[in-house]
Amino acid sequence: MTKILLVEDDSNLREIYGIRLEAEGYNIFSASDGEEALAVAVREHPDLIITDVMMPKISGFDMLDILRSTPETKNIKVIV
């Protein structure tokens, strides 16, 4: 099953997106900020990350820079 990490600081949007993607058969992991997302990405190795840009702690762009510089996560596909 395809694993998707959904990164969104708005809990309502995160829930709506998650429900819709799960209904399509995806295995969903979620995070509310870039810092949490990095930890989940290393732990779960998702096939795809869908992320917001404006988030607390670490922005979506900064998170992407860190993902690309980390060997375990550098090849994960990301939609911003």
Q: Which residues of 35-44 are buried (b: 16+ CB within 10 A; e: fewer)?
A: ebbbebbeee
CATH of the domain at 70: 3.40.50.2300
For 18-36, what is each residue's pLDDT tens digit?
Answer: 999 999 999 999 999 999 9
C-alpha dist (Å) from residue 19 to 12, 28, 39: 11, 9, 22
Q: Which residues contact 70 (CB under 8 A, 6 or more apart)?
A: 38, 42
Low-confidence ranges of the chain (pLDDT < 70): none
Per the structure, how many domains does the chain have?
1
Q: What's the confidence (pLDDT) of residue 43?
A: 97
Q: Does the global pTM surpass 0.85?
A: yes
Q: What's the confidence (pLDDT) of residue 20?
A: 98
Q: What's the confidence (pLDDT) of residue 1?
A: 87
Full domain range(s) for residue 13: 3-79
Q: For residues 18 and 57, what is the distance between their CA atoms, to the nearest angstrom?
A: 22
